[in-house]
Every structure is written in structure tokens, then in C-alpha cells.
Amino acid sequence: MKRPEVSVRGKNVPRSAIRKLVPFAKDREKTGVKIYKLNIGQPDVETPVEFWEGVRNFKEKVLAYAPSEGRPELIKSFVQYYNNLGFDITAEQLVVIMGGIEGILFAVLAVTDPGDEIIVAEPYYSNYLGVAAMAQVKFVAFSTTVECGYHLPDKAEIVKKITPRTKAMLFASPGNPTGCVYTRQEMEMLAEIAKEHGLFLLSDEVYREFTYDGEFATSILQIPGTEDCGIVIDSVSKRYSACGARLGCIVSKNKEVISSVLANATVRLSAGTLDQVAIANCINVPDSYFKAVRQDYVERRDIVVKALNSVDDVVCRTPKGAFYIMAKLKGIDTEVFAKWLLTDFAIDNETVMIAPGAGFYATEGCGRDEIRIAYVYKAPIMKRAMEVLCAGIRAFRQKNQSAS
């Protein structure tokens, strides 16, 4: 009689730093305290009517598997979407995926073997770490800083991270958690490094629609010479505020990459059929929808930046994309702070939940004084939430000063 043991990797799946805070939030809510959840990227923006129209128009009697590469109408609508953006993409260069993370996983499996390395910019989207664990690859990070708005360092800083095991670079622009939108020059530099060193470029472009102040998110698909190395991971979660639809696509002009991705897509048979039909209809979402959403986010962002700048020793830059902002709270251990906000702090019976920065870094000790805020609520709510947060920062500092 022997008890079976969970595997090493089974034990070590990276647990989300944010998730650790959830029990504290739940306990506090039970005491009647209201918590503004600035810790997650779930926008309050309404899913466009075109999605629900698509759902209603589905008349098939059997909810059958979709083809592994995706339903034809969805592939067609994605191709049209890219063509509208001026990207020269065909149906054969695209595989439908069940959300950005599946896309990252299939792309990573296509370009790495276990033990291989992928270069990433820190801070990065923390769920990438889970993919690295599943695929048994190592992320090698170079640093970007709040002072530089999390833009890329010099080419030499990136190149020196390359080893014989490096197979790819993975980056996101507009970035989660930073909100940083890489310039065309930065995208060209990444492409140059990839080409010079025979690396793949995994470009997570799921926040493409969310750029502000006239900024434009350059896609790797727009950089000449990336036909072999460029792999775009895209998702409809944020584009159509349809996080629950679990759909996106991988785009690459490299046929071997697409063949490998498609083989893995075949293993899991199909993405959701009804979601695919509904999202296909979202090609009809008018520009005015996106314009209104962008205006909304600019207003929210400005509220957050203004509030943070009103507090001493808080460093942040105005992000140009996505709906996140990273800020440095000088002298504050943000893991302790985030927990304290949930367990001890409140004004008028309200508090906030934020994501501590360290969870977005692989390098031990990095990001300990940073936080990520998702500005996912309407402006008046964001305003109030920021008042509460700023009061929290001041109160936490005061408490620590009195203690020392």
C-alpha cells in the first residue's frame, strides 16, 4: 500500500501572487467592507451587441466540434481584421486558439525544447511563468524601469542575455503590466536582434486596440523581414471585452510554425464553437465602439496618474496603452502593503486590492516596491478608488514611521 506522490512540476506550478490575496479579500468583504479590485484585468466595458447578435443567429441543432484550425467564418473575419489594419495575412497563416495563454503555450512548444531559454523584458505578464513551467523552458529577463516608462534598454543589454540555449524572445506591446507601447524603432530593434541571432519573436499583441494620445501599436507583422521569425499571439478578450469567450489566434508566415501550432490545436480538437460564431460577427463592430472605449480609458488613466502624482515618493509615467499602470512606491514593501490594505485599512468602510509588483518579475528582489493597477472601472469609481488607495499609501507610511 503506497500513497502516490504529486510530481515536482505538479507541486511547483507558479501560484499567482494575486491569488494569495484572495482569501484576505473574501474575509474582509464578509465584514461589510467594500473592496475596489484594481488587481485584475477584467474591464467593465460592455461586450458589443454584435457578439450577442452572433449568438442569437447561431441556428445549428448540434453544437459540434469546430475544425481544429478554427471555424471558417472566424478565420475569414480575422483575416479581414488584419487586412483592414493593412497587414498582408492569409487564412493559411492563422490558427484559432482558446485565449492568449494557449497561444503562448503552442508558440513556445513550437520553438523550444525543454531546457531552452526565452528572453523576456521584466516586468512581464505573470501567467507567462506558468507556461514556462508547463513547457519546461527558462525565462531569461532583462530589466526595464518605471523611470524609463518600461521602454526597452539598449540593444547590447538585450543581446548579452543570449546564450546557445536561447531560442526566442517574448514580449508584449502594449504591455501588461506596464502599459508601455514600444515605438516602431524598438520593434525594429527586436526584429534585428532576432534576425542576427536566429531567434523567434513571440509578439503578444492582445492589447493592440488600447493605445492613447495618438500612439499606435506597431505589430511585428509590420516589420519587414520578420516572415521567418515573427509569431503574433492575439486574443479577442480585451478587443471586444469578451474575456469569457476564450478565443484568439496565432499568426505567422513561417509555415513550420503554423504546422506545429496546428498539430497541437488538433490534439485538443477544437476551440468553442458558439464563441467562434459570435466573435466572427464582431468584425461588424463599428470604429465608434473602439473610439468610445479608448476615450473612456484615457479618462480613467488620467485619473490614476494624477492621483498617484499627488502622493510624495510615488514614481509613475503616463502609460500609452493597455489599461494597466505600474508605479513605484518608494520605501514600501508592496506585498506587505497589499495585504495590509485588505486586512487592516479602510476609509469610510472602503479599501482597495492591488497587485504587488514582485509577481511580475523573475529576478529575485525586483519589483518589491512596485504595484500594478488595472484601471478597469468607470471614471467616478476609479476616482474614488484612487482616493482610497492614496490615503492607504499615506497611512501605511505614517504607521511605519511611527513604528520605527
Give the nearer residue to its own copies in terms of CB position, either 129 or 342.
129
Question: Would you count residue 381 as binding its own copies (CB under 8 A)?
Answer: no
Residues between 299 and 338 that touch its own copies (CB under 8 A): none
Question: Would you count residue 370 as binding its own copies (CB under 8 A)?
Answer: no
State which of residues 23, 153, 198, 331 lies at the interface with its own copies (CB under 8 A).
Answer: 198
Question: Would you count residue 244 as binding its own copies (CB under 8 A)?
Answer: yes
Q: 335 is written with which cell numbers? A: 506585498
Q: Contact letters (x/-) for its own copies, 246-275, by CB under 8 A?
A: x-------x-xx--x--xx-xxxxxxxxxx
Among residues 160, 166, 226, the alpha carbon closest in space to that of 192 is found at 226
Q: Contact letters (x/-) for its own copies, 161-190, by CB under 8 A?
A: ------xx----------------------
Q: Contact letters (x/-) for its own copies, 21-60, by CB under 8 A?
A: ---------------------xxxxxx---x---x-----
Give the nearer residue to its own copies in terms of CB position, either 324 or 396.
324
Question: Would you count residue 101 as binding its own copies (CB under 8 A)?
Answer: yes
DSSP, collapsed to helix, strand or coil, labels residue 162 as coil
How far is residue 180 from each of residues 124, 135, 217, 322, measured CA to CA in Å? 11, 27, 10, 8
* Phi and psi, residue 264, nearest 5°: -70, -35
Q: How many CA atoms lie within 13 A of 66 on its CB side?
A: 22
Question: Would you count residue 224 as binding its own copies (CB under 8 A)?
Answer: no
Which helix (H) or strand (E) is 58 found in, with range?
Answer: none
- Minimal distance, residue 224 CB to its own copies, in Å: 13
- Minimal distance, residue 2 CB to its own copies, in Å: 3
Nearest-angstrom CA–CA distance, 179 and 320: 6
Give the nearer residue to its own copies in terms of CB position, either 340 or 360.
360
State which of residues 21, 158, 187, 245 lies at the interface with its own copies (CB under 8 A).
Answer: 245
The 3-state DSSP composition of the chain as helix, strand, coil percent (nearest 5) reads: 45, 15, 40
Stretch that binds its own copies, among 126-134, 173-181, 211-219, 360-368 (CB under 8 A): 126-134
How far is residue 369 from each of residues 121, 133, 285, 312, 330, measured CA to CA in Å? 18, 26, 40, 14, 6
Q: What is the DSSP string of 84-131?
A: HTT----GGGEEEESSHHHHHHHHHHHH--TT-EEEEEES--TTHHHH
